[in-house]
Amino acid sequence: MSHFLYGYQVRANGVRLHLLRYGGQGPCMLLLPGITSPAITWGFVAERLARHFDVHVLDFRGRGLSFSGPGMDASLDAMASDVVELMALQGWAPVTLLGHSMGARVAIRAATRDARRIDRLLLIDPPVSGPGRRPYPVPLSWYVDSIRLAAQGISAEELRRYAPTWTDEQLQLRAEWLHTCSEEAIAQAHAGFHDDDIHSDLASLKTPGLLMAAGKGGTVLPDDLAEIKALAPGLTQCVVHGAGHMIPWDDEDSFYRLLGAHLEVEFL
C-alpha cells in the first residue's frame, strides 16, 4: 500500500513551492533532491522513509511544479532561504533535513541560518567543489543536453544512456519530468557548485547528522571525508562503496541499511 498522501503548495520567500507528502506519521523529514530531480522522482525513497517519518519532498524553484521563470534567482542562497522560510511557515520543528547532492548543499546552508528548527542533517554525496577546488565531475552540458532531449519528448529507453543502471520505472519518471527543470536554474546551481564555499558553512555547522558518500563517481573522495571530519566532527560518515552519485538508484539496499543504522530504525 502506498504511503503517498497528497501534493500541496506553499508561498515562501516570494515564490510558489510545490511539495509531495508521504506517511504523515512520526517526526517531520524534509527531503531536498538534487540538481535535476523533481520531487516525484524521489517518490520510491519517500515511500520507504514514510514508514517512520512524516516525509515532505520539495520541488526546488525551477523544477517540477514549483515556480519557474526567466531571470529567476536559483542560487544556493535563494534555495536555502526558501527552505528556511518554508519550515517557519509550516511550523516544522524539529525537522530532519535529508538532502542529496545539490539538496545536501542547500541543507548545510539552511542549517547555518536556522539551526533551531533542524535537529539532524542527512547529507547524501554533496558536491565538495568550490573556489580553488577541483571541479564538480559532471559537466553542465550533460544536464543541458538531457533536458533539451526531454523537452523534445525523449523516451525512457532513449534516456537510458544517461542512466544505464536505473530501472524502467525510474527512467520513465525521469523522461516524463526532466523537461520541468529550467536550464537557467540548473546553470546557476552548477555554477554555484564551483563558486559557493560550502566548506565555510561546514566549519560553522552545529547540527549533527550523517554524511553518506558514494564510493564511485568521484564526488566525495577519501581526502574530502578527512577534511570534512575535521571541519564538522558532528557528522557521522559512511561510504556506499558500490554506488555512484545516485546512491539510492545504484544500491538501494545499502542506502536504506546505512541510513537506518544511523537513525536506529529499519527500512529494509
Q: Which CATH number do you get for residue 82? A: 3.40.50.1820
Chain-wide mean pLDDT for the chain?
Answer: 97
Q: CA angle 161-124-231, nearest 5°?
A: 135
pLDDT-above-70 percentage for the chain: 100
Contact present, 230 and 203 (Cβ < 8 Å) = no
- Going by DSSP bridges, is the β-strand pair 118-124/209-214 parallel, antiparallel, or unpaired? parallel
Q: Residues 103-117: what's their mean pLDDT?
A: 96
CA 129 to chain CA centroid, Å, is 16
pLDDT for 40? 98
Contact present, 83 and 199 (Cβ < 8 Å) = no
Report whether pLDDT(165) > 90. no
Cα→Cα distances 137→43, 91, 194, 227, 251, Å: 26, 37, 11, 19, 20
Please report, as a single letter, which amino acid is at residue 36.
T
Domain presence at residue 159: no
pLDDT for 268? 93
Among candidates 8, 17, 63, which has minimal Cα distance to 188? 63
Please state the domain count of the chain: 1
Please report, as a single letter, which amino acid is at residue 48.
R
Domain presence at residue 157: no
Q: First and final CA of the chain: distance in angstroms? A: 16
Domain presence at residue 102: yes
Domain presence at residue 244: yes
- Write out pLDDT tens, residues 38-64: 999 999 999 999 999 999 999 999 999
Domain presence at residue 210: yes
Q: Residues 128-134: what's their mean pLDDT?
A: 97
Cβ-based neighbour number of residue 219 at 10 Å: 20
Query: For residue 162, what pLDDT band results from cuts at 50, 70 and 90?
Result: confident
Domain presence at residue 33: yes
**Enclosing domain of residue 242:** 4-134+196-263
Cα separation, 23 vs 159, in Å, equals: 31
Output the pTM of the full model. 0.98
Q: Residues 97-105: what's their mean pLDDT?
A: 98
Q: Residues 91-119: what's their mean pLDDT?
A: 97
Query: For residue 161, what pLDDT band results from cuts at 50, 70 and 90?
Result: confident
The SS3 of residue 16 is strand
pLDDT for 217? 87
Domain presence at residue 172: no
Domain presence at residue 205: yes
